[in-house]
Amino acid sequence: MLHPNAVTLKVEDMTCGHCASTIINAVEAGLPGAKVQADPATKLVSIQNTLDLAKVESLITAAGYTPTPPALG
């Protein structure tokens, strides 16, 4: 379920649980109070309690991954 105060990104180079943990830790450290879910199977990262897409993209990139907005429709 999508939340109105959340952003979702696709991260194609998130391939395993370790990748997901790295992304979760990076985003939660950079955005205190954010709730992060990362699923390597779908390559989706959802962050609740923020609408700052640029900040989330920056944090994921700094962690060594390549975020892109998911395709719509």
In DSSP terms, 19 is beta-bridged to none
Mean pLDDT of 54-65: 96
In terms of residue numbers, what domain contains 27? 6-68
* 1 band by pLDDT with thresholds 50, 70 and 90: very low
- How many other CB atoms are found less than 10 A from the CB of residue 43? 19
Total structural domains within the chain: 1
Has this prediction a pTM greater than 0.85? yes
What is the pLDDT, as a whole number, of residue 71?
64
* 16 band by pLDDT with thresholds 50, 70 and 90: very high
Let me know if residue 73 belongs to a domain. Answer: no
* 2 band by pLDDT with thresholds 50, 70 and 90: low
The beta-strand segments (E) located in the chain are 6-11, 35-39, 44-48, 67-68
Let me know if residue 55 belongs to a domain. Answer: yes
